[in-house]
């Protein structure tokens, strides 16, 4: 009975949506992805494990690349435009500001936070939050980045000379603590809950990916009856309890400081002051009442997930790339010596500007290993591309991995070549083709924050350690983000005597 009901609902829904979309399609249609079936379209290709999802994504990207940069596919009744053409991607990224319906899967947890929110709420929040990421605020975080990097160097000491080890677990804790301090102004107090917190975030990512793969779970009506939803509810409850606790504690601290007429700023280990991002939000809610407690909680949840996993994966891939190419590693080391000398002093904002080769290496890693190889938008009105028009009501897949392999990158597009970011003749084209932090108006709000923090960390690490790795051994999967399925290990040798390392 359930299956029959499901089947009838799908057929009727498919019929209506397809009829509506066909009516709107212009005469010139992009080529369709091969393998389309009646009713199901291409939904069946999504079914499989997370490694399969990654392979499908690469295949769809390659199809789009070889067929002129735009193809269509059908996920059940939905018509999806899948794009790798850089100009068309740019057009879509700036004209379609609504996230696609897949992002609704995250709403029970993240609500209308910046990542999953759309429309006027997103616009208002982005405007409110942009100042929290201006250069002056970010410069205040450098002390935290330095302290945290030193801690990481100290923690990794036990692995020196012991052969390969999975470095992600060190990087995850490091980035989580960094986000906790800079974004929420909190530190060790939650240590007993961190394990459960990280595990719940990982479970939530797996749940979203599984729902995406199983197209019959896309409609809420069926999903709400599933075991997966019950598991999701359990994790969402814990995650909300946790973020509410962070929020309430920070409010209490602010209130106490206000009573004592003290500064509300956070303090890093060297006594340097910085203003955690959450404080800015709480001040806005107190002074101007422009953001509600619920909205702040949604942004707290959003910044946790958007901030911590992303940076740890990018650091993980970058260290592996550095370890794979010894000449690249030596060039970064020489640059660090040129800018900071042999000393172990803190990295300053002026140093960060000068570490151009290191930045090129991070960008090149993100080009080949973009943690968001695809993002998805909803066209709420017709969008004119170079050769086609995306009709209103369609989904659009922005295939960033595909764009990063476009032939405009040149004959060495498949190679790891950080030098391409230093070549002034190709730099402006490269920047236009680079979507490591997404592109257009909904790009990453914290891209400068992330770059500053990662450059500081790698500088500290490479001053003390030589990294060895083989990135060709890594296998990948999609679990919301591009993640390693296996083979993500490095080994470390000391560059400097042990007693030069302070924890
Ligand atoms: C290396 C680290 C990072 C990378 C590669 C990265 C990448 C991205 C990408 C690709 C998007 C677009 C997602 C989409 O449209 O589906 C995005 C959005 C976003 N990122 Fe990042 N991110 C990083 C670090 C961070 C950090 C540290 C934070 C916060 C502290 C952050 C906060 C956000 C937010 C709030 C959005 C949503 C922006 C909007 O739609 O207005 N990200 N990021």
Complex ipTM value: 0.99
CB 82 within 8 A of CB 60: yes
Beta-carbon contacts of residue 359 (< 8 Å; ≥ 6 apart) = 421, 451, 455
CA atoms within 13 A on the CB side of 371: 19
Structural element, H or E, at residue 273: strand 273-274
3-state SS string over 118-162? CHHHHHHHHHHHHHHHCHHHHHCCHHHHHHHHHHHHHHHHHHECC
pLDDT of residue 494: 95
> Tokens 């800018």 — which residue?
339
Question: What is the 301 CA–ligand 1 centroid distance (Å)?
Answer: 13
Structural element, H or E, at residue 450: helix 447-464
> What tens digit of pLDDT does each residue of 114-125 get?
999 988 889 999
Task: Give percent of the chain with pLDDT exceeding 70.
Answer: 89
Express the helix, strand and coil content of the chain in percent, nearest 5 each: 60, 10, 30
CA–CA dist 133, 452 (Å, integer): 12
pTM score, whole prediction? 0.91
> Running DSSP on this structure, what letter comes out for residue 440?
G
CA–CA dist 488, 325 (Å, integer): 15
CA–CA dist 135, 131 (Å, integer): 9
Above 50 in pLDDT, residue 503? no
CA–CA dist 285, 407 (Å, integer): 48
444 annotated among ligand-binding-site residues? yes
Ligand 1 pocket residue status of 449, Cβ below 6 Å: yes
Question: What is the 305 CA–ligand 1 centroid distance (Å)?
Answer: 9
Ligand 1 pocket residue status of 115, Cβ below 6 Å: yes
CB 246 within 8 A of CB 300: yes
Tell me which residue of 503, 502, 492 sits closest to 166, measured CA to CA: 492
Ligand 1 pocket residue status of 176, Cβ below 6 Å: no
Query: Mean pLDDT across the stretch 204-233?
Result: 95
> What tens digit of pLDDT does each residue of 237-261 get?
999 999 898 888 888 887 877 655 5
Question: What is the 358 CA–ligand 1 centroid distance (Å)?
Answer: 21
Above 60 in pLDDT, residue 10? no
Beta-carbon contacts of residue 399 (< 8 Å; ≥ 6 apart) = 57, 60, 61, 64, 82, 83, 84, 89, 373, 374
With bands split at pLDDT 50, 70 and 90, how would you rate the model's confidence at 468?
very high
SS3 31: coil
pLDDT of residue 256: 78
DSSP 207-251: HHHHHHH-GGGSSHHHHTTSHHHHHHHHHHHHHHHHHHHHHHHHH
CA–CA dist 318, 248 (Å, integer): 36
Question: What is the 354 CA–ligand 1 centroid distance (Å)?
Answer: 24
């Amino acid at each position: 009975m359930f299956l029959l009901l499901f089947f009838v609902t799908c057929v009727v829904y498919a019929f209506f949506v397809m009829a509506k979309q066909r009516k709107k399609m212009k005469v010139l249609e992009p080529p369709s992805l091969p393998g389309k079936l009646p009713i199901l379209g291409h939904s069946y290709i999504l079914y499989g494990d997370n490694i399969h999802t990654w392979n499908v994504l690469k295949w769809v990207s390659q199809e789009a690349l070889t067929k002129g940069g735009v193809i269509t596919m059908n996920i059940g009744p939905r018509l999806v435009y899948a794009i790798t053409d850089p100009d068309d991607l740019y057009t879509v990224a700036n004209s379609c500001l609504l996230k696609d319906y897949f992002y609704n899967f995250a709403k029970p947890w993240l609500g209308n936070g910046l990542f999953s929110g759309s429309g006027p709420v997103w616009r208002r929040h982005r405007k409110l939050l942009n100042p929290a990421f201006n250069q002056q605020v970010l410069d205040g975080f450098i002390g935290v980045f330095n302290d945290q990097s030193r801690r990481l160097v100290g923690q990794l000491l036990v692995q020196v000379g012991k052969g390969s080890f999975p470095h992600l677990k060190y990087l995850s804790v490091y980035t989580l603590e960094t986000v906790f301090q800079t974004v929420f102004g909190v530190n060790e107090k939650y240590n007993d809950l961190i394990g459960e917190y990280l595990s719940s975030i990982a479970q939530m990512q797996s749940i979203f990916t599984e729902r995406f793969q199983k197209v019959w779970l896309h409609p809420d009506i069926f999903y709400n009856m599933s075991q997966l939803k019950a598991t999701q509810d359990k994790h969402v409850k814990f995650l909300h309890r946790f973020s509410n606790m962070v929020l309430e504690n920070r409010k209490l601290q602010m209130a106490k400081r206000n009573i004592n007429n003290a500064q509300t700023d956070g303090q890093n280990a060297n006594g340097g002051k910085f203003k955690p991002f959450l404080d800015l939000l709480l001040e806005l809610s107190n002074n101007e009442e422009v953001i509600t407690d619920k909205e702040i909680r949604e942004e707290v949840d959003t910044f946790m997930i958007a901030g911590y996993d992303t940076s740890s994966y990018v650091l993980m891939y970058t260290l592996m790339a550095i370890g794979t190419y010894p000449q690249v590693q030596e060039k970064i080391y020489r640059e660090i010596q040129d800018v900071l000398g042999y000393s172990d002093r803190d990295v300053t904002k002026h140093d960060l500007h000068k570490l151009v080769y290191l930045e090129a290496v991070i960008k090149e890693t993100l080009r080949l290993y973009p943690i968001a190889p695809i993002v998805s938008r909803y066209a709420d009105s017709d969008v004119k591309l170079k050769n086609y028009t995306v009709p209103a009501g369609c989904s659009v897949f922005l295939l960033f991995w595909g764009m990063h392999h476009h032939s405009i990158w040149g004959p060495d597009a498949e190679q790891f070549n950080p030098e391409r970011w230093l070549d002034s003749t190709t730099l402006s084209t490269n920047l236009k083709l680079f979507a490591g932090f997404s592109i257009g108006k909904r790009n990453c709000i914290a891209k400068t924050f992330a770059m500053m923090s990662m450059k500081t960390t790698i500088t500290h690490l490479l001053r003390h350690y030589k990294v060895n790795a083989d990135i060709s051994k890594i296998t990948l999967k999609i679990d919301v983000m591009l993640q390693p399925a296996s083979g993500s290990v490095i080994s470390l040798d000391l560059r400097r005597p042990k007693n030069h390392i302070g924890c």
